[in-house]
Amino acid sequence: MNGAQALIRTLVAAGVDTCFMNPGTSEMHFVAALDDVPEMHGVLALFEGVATGAADGYSRMAGRPAAVLLHLGPGLGNGLANLHNARRGHVPVVNIVGDHATYHARFDAPLQSDIAAIASSLQGWVHTSTDPSAVAGDAASAIAAAQGPPGGVATLILPADTCWLPSDGPAEPLAPAAPSGSPKTLCRVLPGSSLAMHRAL
């Protein structure tokens, strides 16, 4: 079993059985692995914004995380608007972004970019898998982070070689991540305000 197969089986085991995608060359092993895991439903989109918007909408309607697969930093950039909507709506989305093979990064290919920096604008969990034996565990962590209150976008960056090399198999689902820090105050009711007087009635 390679890293891509272990990743998809980990997603399915945690209840993430639909992945919207606009893949490129770096994600072909993920696409090929879909044939080996029929429980995962792959939905092809012709534009990244459609894929991320569909993942956001599906997760809202289904009440559970959806996955989205994007091609490198430019693909993530194209899909960023609807991932922003998911972030603002606290919608759990597992955002999988393919990358060049780890040993290829030094050649600075035309689509090479700092994917982690782009993903950090979503203010959620961001991690790069650098070892095929860690891909499944990283996927389980991404799912838990996306589901953790209040819910949001968790981005897992996958260099191509971590997908095609042998792995240790799928990982067990993890409990949703605990919230960090104190909850944000959405509004403050001041004594004597009309809302405070309404509550008093």
Q: Is the pLDDT of residue 198 over 50?
A: no
The pLDDT of 171-179, averaged and rounded, is: 86
pLDDT band at 178; cut points 50, 70, 90: confident
The whole-number average pLDDT for the span 172-189 is: 61
Q: What is the reported pTM? A: 0.87
> Could you give the CA distance from residue 95 to residue 154 in angstroms, rounded to a whole number?
6
pLDDT of 58-115, one tens digit each?
A: 999 999 999 999 999 999 999 999 999 999 999 999 999 999 999 998 999 999 999 9
pLDDT at 182 over 50: no
Domains of the chain: which residue ranges?
A: 3-200
φ/ψ of residue 9, rounded to 5: -65, -35
- Three-state secondary structure of the chain: CEHHHHHHHHHHHCCCCEEEEECCHHHHHHHHHHHHCCCCEEEECCCHHHHHHHHHHHHHHHCCCEEEEEEHHHHHHHCHHHHHHHHHCCCCEEEEEEECCHHHHHHCCCCCCCHHHHHHCCCCCEEECCCHHHHHHHHHHHHHHHHCCCCCEEEEEEEHHHHHCECCCCCCCCCCCCCCCCCCCCCCCCCCCHHHHHHHC
CATH among 3.40.50.970, 3.40.50.1970, 1.20.1730.10, 3.40.50.150 for 3-200:
3.40.50.970
